[in-house]
Chain A
């Protein structure tokens, strides 16, 4: 469970988030959508404890977020950072050494699913395979909250499809809450439980996606066109 209560985040005089209230419940795959600079990445970083709100409070499973929240939150950055000299196998071992909840067995299972070679050096991987590896690393942690910042961005359709299938296969929807930011709405249209739309630092909509279809006969793309007008 994630709650943001009256959260404002300023960078200098610029408001990245403006009095945001949000409640997200476990067992769901939730999409955070919005234009570039709308506050999506800021929201994820605040939940991950990588940055602090200027005002307001954020809680994960009842605990106020600080840097220590990393033990219950897995965060996948949008940046393509990695240790170039590591092999895939070494990256997994490194993550296992950093996080007590890291499940190596699951990591190798996802690795096989993604058809990655454990002995390849990261610097020799294609961008698509680096994207796949990031998914392996973030989904292998046994944590209640997984945050993914733009996991599909800049990747070709085949890779995006394998990542969406990876989400379907390896998220534990009995327990986990997965929050992803994306511009690739069509790709995730059928796999999101909920969608949250953000604009200029404010939440302008939060829906159960099936309910949106049932009550308003609209999918996410049309809904967004409507609210962003």
Chain B
């Protein structure tokens, strides 16, 4: 369970990434209450202080909001969620393209390769 995080990067950031993905995948819906800091800590074997920092980080990005005395909730602001979705997509594409370029692939090769891959994958899934 502790293997879900790399020990060389701040855990609070990795946990924030993980929760953003959960929101994008719809495992956490707009308006959902997040588990308590301790519950999340227990689930991923992380210090509650670190989880608290993750929640604060997500709060500063306005992805979640804390309601006094009630807990922390996923935002219901659709434009914030849309831009989160867009941001995560750009990030994944950037990493993929950088990796390809480092190996020396040209833009056209990347593009045609991706189109071919998606087409074949679409056929096998159909």
A198 at the interface (CB under 8 A from B): no
Count contacts between A and B, CB distance < 8 Å. Answer: 62
- Chain A residue contacts of B7, Cβ below 8 A: 189-190, 213, 219-222
- Chain B residue contacts of A191, Cβ below 8 A: 45-47
Residue of A nearest to B6 (CB): A219
Q: Which of B5, B10, B45, B47 contacts A29 (CB 8 A)?
A: B47
Q: How far is the CA of A221 from the CA of B2 in the complex (A)?
A: 14
Residue of A nearest to B45 (CB): A190
Instruction: Check B45 against A186 for contact (C-beta < 8 Å).
Output: no
Interface size class of A (residues with CB under 8 A): 20 to 34
> Which one of A1-9, A60-68, A88-96, A163-171 is at the interface?
A163-171
Q: Which of A168, A173, A210 contacts B45 (CB 8 A)?
A: A168
Instruction: Check B46 against A190 for contact (C-beta < 8 Å).
Output: yes
Mark each residue of chain A from 172 to 186: 1 if its CB lies under 8 Å from any CB of chain B, else 0: 010000000000001
Q: How far is the CA of A189 from the CA of B41 in the complex (A)?
A: 13
A128 at the interface (CB under 8 A from B): no
The smallest C-beta distance from B92 to any residue of chain A, in angstroms, reads 22
Instruction: Check B49 against A214 for contact (C-beta < 8 Å).
Output: no
Instruction: Check B8 against A217 for contact (C-beta < 8 Å).
Output: yes
Q: How far is the CA of A2 from the CA of B41 in the complex (A)?
A: 26
Q: Which of A186, A190, A213 contacts B8 (CB 8 A)?
A: A213
Interface size class of B (residues with CB under 8 A): 20 to 34
**Known A169-B38, A190-B2; contact A213-B45, beta-carbon cutoff 8 A:** no
- Residue of A164, A192, A210, A220 with most partner-chain B CB within 10 A: A210
- Chain B residue contacts of A192, Cβ below 8 A: 47
Interface residues of B in 3-57 (CB under 8 A from A): 5-12, 38, 41-42, 44-50, 53
- Chain B residue contacts of A219, Cβ below 8 A: 6-8
The smallest C-beta distance from B9 to any residue of chain A, in angstroms, reads 6
A193 at the interface (CB under 8 A from B): yes
- Chain B residue contacts of A217, Cβ below 8 A: 8-9
Interface residues of A in 12-27 (CB under 8 A from B): 27
- Chain A residue contacts of B44, Cβ below 8 A: 190
A77 at the interface (CB under 8 A from B): no
- Chain A residue contacts of B53, Cβ below 8 A: 210
The smallest C-beta distance from B6 to any residue of chain A, in angstroms, reads 8
Q: How far is the CA of A164 from the CA of B10 in the complex (A)?
A: 19
Q: Give chain B's interface residues, CB within 8 Å of chain A.
A: 1-2, 5-12, 38, 41-42, 44-50, 53
Q: Give chain A's interface residues, CB within 8 Å of chain B.
A: 27-29, 161, 164-165, 168-169, 173, 186-187, 189-193, 210, 213-214, 217-222
In the complex, the 3 A-B pairs of residues with the closest C-beta atoms, listed nearest first? A219-B7, A213-B10, A191-B47
